[in-house]
Each structure stands twice: as C-alpha cells, then as structure tokens.
Amino acid sequence: MNIVTDTTLPSPCWLLEESLLIKNLELIKTIKEQSGAKVLLALKGYALWKSFDTIKPYLNGCCTSGLNEAKLAHETFGKEVHTYSPAFKEEEIEEIAKLSHHLVFNTPAQFKYFSKKAKEINPGLSLGLRVNPEYSEAPKEIYNPCGINSRLGTTLENFDDTLIEELDGLHFHALCEQDSNALEDVLNNFEDKFGKYIPNMKWINFGGGHHITRKGYDVEKLIQLIQNFKTKYNVEVYLEPGEAIGWQTGTLVTTVLDIVYNGINIAILDTSAEAHMPDTIIMPYRAEVRDAGKAGEKAYTYRLAGNTCLAGDIMGDYSFDKPLQPEDRVIFEDQMHYTMVKATTFNGIKLPSIAIRRLDGHIEVIREFGYKDFKERLS
Ligand SMILES: *Cc1c(COP(=O)(O)O)cnc(C)c1O
C-alpha cells in the first residue's frame, strides 16, 4: 500500500471517498432501523472489497450471483451470503450451497434439480424462488427484468404450487435506479399475482434497483411500504441494493495525454470509456466531469475520448474555463459503481489503479495494475 496526495495520485485511478460511502451507509442504517428490513450489498454493482471493513457494520451481508461472488462475499464480507443465479451449474452447486445462507432459484425446474442436494450439503440453507411480477417501470429494456420474454424469474403461469412446502421465501427484482413510487407499483403487482403464497413464506426479497441514496429519493415512503408489508404478512423483508451503496462516493481521476484538432478539439485521456466506464456507452449516460459544463457552456469545449483504437471510445463533449493541456487532470464524478466490476483490459489499456481517501484525509493506493493483468487473462 502506497500513501499519496491528490497531486501524486497515479493516473488513471478510481478514488473512493470513505466519508461519502459512510454517508450513504448511515442513511441505509436509518432505513434498516425504522423499517425493520435487512439490507444486503449487491456485489454485481459494487465489489471493492478493500472497503468492506467500512461497509460491514452497516449491512447484513451480500447478495451474489454465483460461485465467484459467493466466495468473495464469504471471504471478504462474512455475514449473510444470498446467492441467486439465472441458472446454477452442477459442478458449482455444492460449493455455493456451503457458502450461502439463502439460495434462490430462477425456475421450478432448477429448484427441483438442485434443492435436495443443496439442503443435504447445508441443512441450514434457506431456499427461495425468484418470481417475475411482470411489471416494471425500468427506464431501458436492457435493464428491465420484467420485459417481454424475460428469462429472469418465474411467471405466475409457470409457478409450481407443489414447491410451496419447501420454499422459505420469494424474491423479485424489477427496479433500476428507481424511487419508492416504482417499488409501490411493483409490490402491488407482486401481491396481486403471488400474494396467496406469501403467508407460507419466512422472507420476501425486494431485490435491488432502489435508488435510496439519490437526492430526492422518497425514503419515508420506502420505510412505510416495508413496515406495512411486514405488518400485513409477518415476514422478513430484504433489500439488495448495489448502486445505492456506491452512489456518488468517488471519482475516476484521469490525465490528458494529447489534444487533437479535427473540426473540434478532442482531448485524448489515459483512460477509456469502453474499457473503464462502459455504462457511458452501454446505458448510455453522460458522466459528470468536475468543473466542466456541457459543450459550449464554458469558454473551451473539448470532446473527451479514450486512449484505445476504437473510434467510438468517447465520453462526450464538455466545456472548461481554461484550455486543456497535456498533463491536466480530468475527474469523472460518481465512478464507483458498475465501473470496477465491469472494467476490461481491452486493447491492452492499463486498468485504473484503486485508491481510498480515508476519513482522516490521507489517500491509500490499494491496487495498481500492469502487464500481468492483461497477459494472464488471455491464455
Ligand atoms: C443487479 C441486481 C441487484 C442490484 O441492483 P442495483 O441496481 O445495483 O441496486 C440486486 N439484485 C439482483 C437480483 C440484481 O440482478
């Protein structure tokens, strides 16, 4: 581990602000206390495990999507491990069953195939089924688990009543960056379809996608919905946010390498939209850049682009008060969730280092990447 300052920070580098992470966690703690819900961290969205010592005291455990995430949760987080996968594999189920506290199947077929074996290996395992409430207000089809022909979760039509005796819980996940109003609508659909089964359950898992820590999120409504649900059915309620934990807790610090002029000014950075911030291309969304405005808003406009040979490796057009020059730092805001977990070594580009600014202000560089990380993935 390497102690640095803002100016000696390696580049590119993801920089987590521990104080901002704690701010999110304090809000979630309040929700847990007032609603009685249990809250898990979804490793799919945020898995910077060297920050887990900070997170652990606030949450009940992790939700994982298969063997590798379950192992990571067990090794680095402890507490409860809940594993759901769209489909489990024969060769992995034993180890997953050993590591998990809750095991959630996607279909009655997988439940029947694996549940007995899983229980034999770990008799304390609590078994669940993911259901599809067939209702979602997700903003984009690729983020809509309840869209047409979705493979995620069992529809009411495919529900198998003979499983009821063996099921401890039901799971749904139908939100994406959404407010508690959307949860209310999903819950109504969930209850309409699966309400008759809830009295047989010990727990209901409300999935992720709750944008709890976003400014303006209706926290009171979330608490009310959970309280009402718990009172009505007398079950444990779980939430499993990923994004909301890492929301606005840190940056991607990058450096200008060169300025190219071709009709417009283009700044080539030592990072990549494609490799390091893929959701800016896939989702897509525009990342905020510190001290920058939209194109034309400030005096000097640049297209910010990546250092790979992909023509479309572009973050977008931004304007600055001063001209950009090589060695200038460009800081992308809110780059903690769905970045590190998705990053690749595409085109041999170096993965950003990872650093944490601790509460007392000092910055620890906890990981740097190099040639080995690129080479070893390819054969
Ligand atoms: C992605 C996912 C989550 C976390 O979603 P966020 O949008 O990051 O809160 C939780 N549960 C399941 C099943 C998921 O697929």
pLDDT, tens digit, 9 for 90 and up, residues 52-89: 999 999 999 999 999 999 999 999 999 999 999 999 99
d(CA 202, CA 200): 7
Give domain status of residue 22, yes or no.
no
Of 246, 264, 288, the last residue of a domain is: 246
Are residues 306 and 315 in contact, defined by beta-carbon separation less than 8 angstroms? Answer: yes
Of 226, 246, 266, the last residue of a domain is: 246
Give domain status of residue 23, yes or no.
no
Give domain status of residue 256, yes or no.
yes
Res 21: pLDDT: 98
pLDDT class for 127, splitting at 50, 70, 90? very high
Of 188, 218, 246, the last residue of a domain is: 246
Token pair belonging to 110: 């997988």
Looking at ligand 1, which residue's alpha carbon is closest to its atom 8? 242
CATH number at residue 361: 2.40.37.10
Are residues 130 and 173 in contact, defined by beta-carbon separation less than 8 angstroms? Answer: yes
| pLDDT at residue 138 is higher than 90 | no
Q: How many CB atoms lie within 10 A of CB 146?
A: 21
Ligand 1 atom with least separation from CA of 210: 9
Q: Percent of the chain scored above 70 by pLDDT?
A: 100
Give domain status of residue 222, yes or no.
yes
Distance 279 CA to ligand 1 centre (A): 15
| Residue 100 sits in the same domain as residue 214 | yes
| Residue 194 sits in the same domain as residue 261 | no
Token pair belonging to 27: 């809000």
Q: Which residue has the tokens 């780059």?
A: 335
| Residue 239 sits in the same domain as residue 313 | no
pLDDT class for 140, splitting at 50, 70, 90? confident
Res 1: pLDDT: 74
Give domain status of residue 28, yes or no.
no
Res 55: pLDDT: 98
**Average pLDDT score over the chain:** 97
Question: Does the C-beta of 207 come closer than 6 Å to ligand 1?
Answer: yes
| Residue 235 sits in the same domain as residue 141 | yes
pLDDT class for 105, splitting at 50, 70, 90? very high
Question: Does the C-beta of 242 come closer than 6 Å to ligand 1?
Answer: yes
d(CA 124, CA 102): 9
| Residue 258 sits in the same domain as residue 278 | yes
Ligand 1 atom with least separation from CA of 175: 7
Give domain status of residue 84, yes or no.
yes
| Residue 96 sits in the same domain as residue 242 | yes
Q: Which of 86, 90, 26 is nearest to 58 (CA)?
A: 26
Q: How many domains in the chain?
A: 2
| Residue 193 sits in the same domain as residue 291 | no
Res 139: pLDDT: 82
Q: Could you tell me whether strands 102-105 and 126-130 are parallel, antiparallel, or unpaired per DSSP bridges? A: parallel
Average pLDDT over residues 108-127: 98
Angle at the Cα of 238 from the Cα atoms of 234 and 242, rounded to 5 degrees: 165
Give domain status of residue 324, yes or no.
yes
Distance 43 CA to ligand 1 centre (A): 8
Question: pTM value?
Answer: 0.97
| Residue 239 sits in the same domain as residue 270 | no
**For residue range 191-224, what is the model confidence (pLDDT) as tens digits?**
999 999 999 999 999 999 999 999 999 999 999 9
Token pair belonging to 106: 């996607």
Distance 42 CA to ligand 1 centre (A): 6
Give domain status of residue 135, yes or no.
yes
Rg (CA), the chain: 22
d(CA 174, CA 144): 7
Which domain range does residue 138 map to?
A: 36-246
Res 59: pLDDT: 98
Distance 146 CA to ligand 1 centre (A): 13
Please name every residue paired with 165 in a beta bridge, in sequence order, or none if there are none: none
CATH number at residue 163: 3.20.20.10
